[in-house]
Amino acid sequence: MRSRWFHAPTLHAPAHEEGKKVSWLELFYDLIFVAAIIQLGNALSDDVSLGGFARFAAHFVPLWIGWTGFTFFANRFNVDDFPHRALVLLQMFALGTMAIASPRAFAGEPAVFALANAAAQGVIALLYLRAWIQVPEARAYSRYWGRVFAAGAAAFALSALLPVPWAYILWAAGIGAVMFAPISETSRALQQQLPLDQEHLSERYGLLTIIVLGESFVKVLSYLTEKDGVAAGYLLQGFFNLALTCAVWWIYFDDVAGAHVKRERGSWVMWLYGHLPLAIGITAVGVAVKKAITFDMGEPAYAPYRWLLAGTLALTFLSVALVDSVTERRNAELSDRTRVGVRVASAVIVLLLGQVGGTMSAGLFQGLVAAICVAQVLFDMMMAPFEESEELHQAVLTRELTERRARGEDPGRHARRDVSEAVRKGAPSELRRDLYFFFMEGSWTRLLLSFGFLYLFLNVCFAGLYMMDPGSIGTTGDQQFAHAFFFSVQTLSTIGYGAMSPASDYGDLIVTIEAAVGMLFVALATGMMFAKASRPRASVLFSRVMVVSTLDGQPTLAFRAANARGNEVVDAAVNLALLKDELTPEGHHIRRIHDLKLRRARTPAFMLSWVVFHVIDKDSPLWGMDLEAEDCELSSVIVTLMGHDGTYGQTTFARHTYYVEDIRVGERFVDVIHQLPDGRLMIDLTRFHDTVPEADPPVLGAM
């Protein structure tokens, strides 16, 4: 037991200890921090302009540094006594004072805000001073970071004594000292000696993000409750804007929160700094969605509020792209470069919508912004359709065992899975599927929906570019976004009805670019769809079982295959490979592949059915093997069949796997080929898998 009044801090070593849990004090600390940034958000709400946003970001950074400083100290050290709690609560009061003083700081009186921030960073310096005294193995680390935060605190304290222009210079110096510290050679060397607990940091930043996102809900709901008799239109618009917040939540917690930081130099620093603009963007999105409720859906959106929504969403997407560039997504189908490109492209199109949003109704503007957000959610679902969870794996395994017992099956025998169903964990990003493979292996629905969205996306982009110069298109009336969109459709598809045409040099330039993009898009779509439609697929039907019967006085393993399509497949060849569990003389368990010799491995024409035989003699890997034993060392038999398909004019192939429980000893296949009265042959595929007991079964002991 340890004293709650006082105990020495201990160094947290994630390599030797269990993952660190977020403490109740840290959660309480987060609530105070969010209360502070809510006040900053209110100040931004009162001054929705570029200057107002710059002041909001400038006051947000010191708050974030204070939160991050405490979070990293808690990540490195284990301590929860009375002095520690008292210091943390003191820093919380300092953050609260910063929140109270933020309106005056916005108005040009930053002294109180600066002193409160100096106190917040000074508390962190005191925490490290205590660790320097009481944790000998971490003295170098504590001395470095204690000096960093002491310097930051001194810069802000001195700024309170100077007039505004010079005070802000000291602010920049104090912020720069702390922000540069993780990049220094000393910091990198200390990190190698005392590694971070990345799981704890991911959880901390995830909790902060989810609390900040919740602040968006608070703003929208508080606005709706202030309305006298809320109309259905306000409710619908409120839920519409809350959906944007939900999309941001989905993007972060499906992508950033579930990704591993790459083991490359500077990756974790980029991960850390990427969360600063992300927190700024998400906080400002909360202000923007509240302002967006006031839009008249039939009129153009108010320009400052429109830019606030578009700009903050773009900042959020770019921040996610920055974090994506230094992380690896778990169980992703596509490379990490693809998701970074999608985030950047989404940010660009949202900014473009902010520029041209004045030429469309607010309803259309919000609909397009929402479509971009929803498209990213769908992209995340497509690129990572499976989740990795030990708890989920155990739950599925328990359910399968229960179902097997209910069916009277052996619960100890694992369910047989085809090798193509193997789960690939930890594949390098550069070796994952590219877009071509992703679409070729996927369904037609995936391909058509993706190209349909890309088609609309390109037309929206070019429509926005046309609207950058309202006189770029010659129309009979005022140029609207709808006119630009349909003109883009005509240009991209090379239709050209003649009602609209480029009316300026700028319009001619965009048309030239779009015509080139249109030709490339059509070529890509046509090639992809043709390749997918023309890809040969074998229609080979394999028998569900293999049989072991007597043929020409010898025990023989057999299966059969049929050409279900009935077209011409010439020069077909078949190969059998046996997977057998063996123990080496050194005691290593391995699974070896043995080729099985066939009585006939090729056929000039494969149009009906083909029975493939392997004689089990002394040269066979199956010789002496008891195929009906519970501990049979046979794992599986893999069949591959290749031939030239006369319909496609290409080589086609098929594969099938038989397991030991699929082999029936002492049975033979029923005959499925008969001759009709008119002389034609008929193959009865309804009995293709049927077997009957053999009158003279093979003697298994001779095997």
* Lowest-confidence region among 190-194, 402-406, 590-594, 601-605: 402-406
Residue 500 lies in a domain: no
What is the rounded CA–CA span in Å between residue 493 and residue 462? 13
Close Cβ partners of 442 (under 8 Å, ≥ 6 residues apart): none
Residue 272: closest CA among 312, 211, 229, 322: 322
What is the rounded CA–CA span in Å between residue 357 and residue 360? 6
In this predicted structure, what is the pLDDT of residue 575?
Answer: 92
Tokens of 137: 């193995």
What is the rounded CA–CA span in Å between residue 690 and residue 604? 26
In this predicted structure, what is the pLDDT of residue 16?
Answer: 54
Give the pLDDT band of residue 387 (cuts 50, 70, 90): low
b (16+ CB within 10 A) / e for 306-318: bbbbbbbbbbbbb
In this predicted structure, what is the pLDDT of residue 428?
Answer: 56
Give the angle subtended at the CA of 693 by the CAs of 690 and 699, to the nearest 5°: 130
What is the rounded CA–CA span in Å between residue 545 and residue 662? 5
Interstrand relation of 650-659 and 663-665 (parallel, antiparallel or unpaired): unpaired
pLDDT exceeds cutoff 80 at 429: no
Give the pLDDT band of residue 405 (cuts 50, 70, 90): low
* Lowest-confidence region among 25-39, 218-232, 575-589: 218-232
Residue 609 lies in a domain: yes
Q: Any bridge partners for residue 551, and if so which?
A: 554
In this predicted structure, what is the pLDDT of residue 333?
Answer: 66
Please provide residue 598's backbone torsions phi and psi, each rounded to the nearest 5 degrees. Answer: -105, 150
pLDDT exceeds cutoff 60 at 224: yes
- Helix residue ranges, H only, 77-184: 82-106, 111-134, 139-159, 164-180
Helix (H, G, I), strand (E, B) or coil at 3: coil
Helix H or strand E segment including 681: strand 681-683
- Mean pLDDT score across all residues of the chain: 80
What is the rounded CA–CA span in Å between residue 284 and residue 305? 11
* Residue that the structure tokens 């009186």 belong to: 109
What is the rounded CA–CA span in Å between residue 321 and residue 328? 12
380 within 8 A of 254, measured Cβ to Cβ? yes
pLDDT exceeds cutoff 90 at 315: yes
* Sign, Cα dihedral of 432, 436, 440, 443: positive
- Per residue, the 3-state secondary structure of 534-601, as one string, reads HCCCCCEEECCCEEEEEECCEEEEEEEEEECCCCCEEEEEEEEEEEEEEECCCCCEEEEEEEECCCCC
Higher pLDDT, 20 or 465: 465
| Structure-derived torsion over alpha carbons of residues 656, 657, 660, 661, reported in degrees to the nearest 10 | -70
Residue 433 lies in a domain: no
Higher pLDDT, 91 or 215: 91
In this predicted structure, what is the pLDDT of residue 697?
Answer: 67
b (16+ CB within 10 A) / e for 477-503: eebbbebbbbbbbbbbeeeeeeebbbe
* Lowest-confidence region among 181-190, 220-229, 319-328: 220-229
621 within 8 A of 594, measured Cβ to Cβ? yes
Q: Domain ends where: 170, 196, 222?
A: 196
pLDDT exceeds cutoff 60 at 404: no
Interstrand relation of 634-645 and 667-669 (parallel, antiparallel or unpaired): unpaired
Give the pLDDT band of residue 417 (cuts 50, 70, 90): low
Proportion of the chain above pLDDT 90, given as a percent: 5
pLDDT digits (tens, 9 = 90+) for 471-481: 788 765 666 77
In this predicted structure, what is the pLDDT of residue 1?
Answer: 57
Residue 377 lies in a domain: no
690 within 8 A of 560, measured Cβ to Cβ? no
Q: Any bridge partners for residue 365, and if so which?
A: none
* Lowest-confidence region among 129-138, 223-232, 494-503, 642-651: 223-232
What is the rounded CA–CA span in Å between residue 107 and residue 416? 70
What is the rounded CA–CA span in Å between residue 682 and residue 673? 6
532 within 8 A of 444, measured Cβ to Cβ? yes
Residue 643 lies in a domain: yes
Range of the domain at 177: 1-196
* Sign, Cα dihedral of 444, 449, 454, 459: positive
Q: Domain ends where: 196, 227, 255?
A: 196
Helix (H, G, I), strand (E, B) or coil at 700: helix
Mean pLDDT to the nearest integer, 685-689: 87
pLDDT digits (tens, 9 = 90+) for 495-544: 877 778 888 888 889 888 888 988 888 888 888 888 887 777 778 889 99
Q: Any bridge partners for residue 575, and if so which?
A: 640
Total tally of structural domains belonging to the chain: 2
For residue 636, give the CATH number of its domain.
2.60.40.1400
Mean pLDDT to the nearest integer, 620-649: 81
What is the rounded CA–CA span in Å between residue 322 and residue 340? 8
Residue 119 lies in a domain: yes
pLDDT exceeds cutoff 60 at 612: yes
Most confident of 418-432, 470-484, 578-592: 578-592
pLDDT exceeds cutoff 80 at 242: no
pLDDT digits (tens, 9 = 90+) for 336-380: 777 888 889 889 888 888 888 888 888 888 888 888 888 888 887
Neighbours of 26 (CB within 10 A): 19
Tell me which amino acid residue 78 is. Answer: N
pLDDT exceeds cutoff 80 at 111: yes
Neighbours of 428 (CB within 10 A): 9
In this predicted structure, what is the pLDDT of residue 232?
Answer: 55
Neighbours of 685 (CB within 10 A): 12
pLDDT exceeds cutoff 80 at 605: yes
The model carries a pTM of 0.70
Proportion of the chain above pLDDT 70, given as a percent: 85
Residue 293: closest CA among 245, 360, 252, 348: 245
Q: Domain ends where: 177, 196, 215?
A: 196
C-alpha distances (whole Å) from 318 to each of 120, 315, 321, 341 are: 30, 5, 5, 10
Structure letter (DSSP) for residue 529: H
* Residue that the structure tokens 């006939």 belong to: 600
In this predicted structure, what is the pLDDT of residue 613?
Answer: 92
Residue 113 lies in a domain: yes
Residue 78 lies in a domain: yes
